[in-house]
Structure formats: structure tokens, C-alpha cells
């Protein structure tokens, strides 16, 4: 059972890292950089990691460009 939990946790972290890379690439193609973009360390510190992607803070200009792209 512990091996299954460990494998599942590793899969979740890998999936989060891949999704983060895809998001970063898509944002870069749109000319947007989120300086604090990364995995939330609190979610990774749990016994059974539950990764969250931290979008972080950005300038007003970057937020406006992001909103324009999403419209």
C-alpha cells in the first residue's frame, strides 16, 4: 500500500511539473512572464503531495496582458 501511495504521489508531482512547463511555454508564446510561476511548496511538503501551481504575483501591466489573452 505504501508503494502505491508513493507511486501515486510521484505521478502527481510529475504531472504538475509537466503542466507547469506547458503553462510557462504557452504564456511565453503570448509574451507573458509570471515571475513567481512555480509549484507551491506547501502542497509538495505533505505526506501525500497534492501539488498546486502557484501563479504568483505580477505587475498590473502583465495582469492586463493576461486578461486580454484570455478574452
- Mean pLDDT throughout 48-52? 83
pLDDT of residue 1: 67
Q: Tell me which of 1-5, 37-41, 49-53, 67-71 is least confident.
A: 1-5
Mean pLDDT value across the chain: 90
- What is d(CA 22, CA 30) in angstroms, rounded to the nearest whole number? 13
Ranges assigned E (strand) in 1-71: 38-39, 53-54
Alpha-carbon span 71 to 62, nearest angstrom: 14
Q: 10 Å Cβ neighbour count for 19?
A: 13
Amino acid at each position: 500500500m505504501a508503494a502505491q501511495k508513493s507511486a501515486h504521489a510521484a505521478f502527481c508531482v510529475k504531472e504538475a511539473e509537466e503542466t507547469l512547463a506547458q503553462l510557462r511555454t504557452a504564456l511565453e508564446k503570448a509574451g507573458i512572464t509570471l515571475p513567481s510561476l512555480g509549484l507551491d511548496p506547501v502542497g509538495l511538503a505533505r505526506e501525500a503531495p497534492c501539488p498546486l501551481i502557484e501563479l504568483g504575483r505580477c505587475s498590473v501591466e502583465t495582469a492586463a496582458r493576461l486578461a486580454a489573452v484570455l478574452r
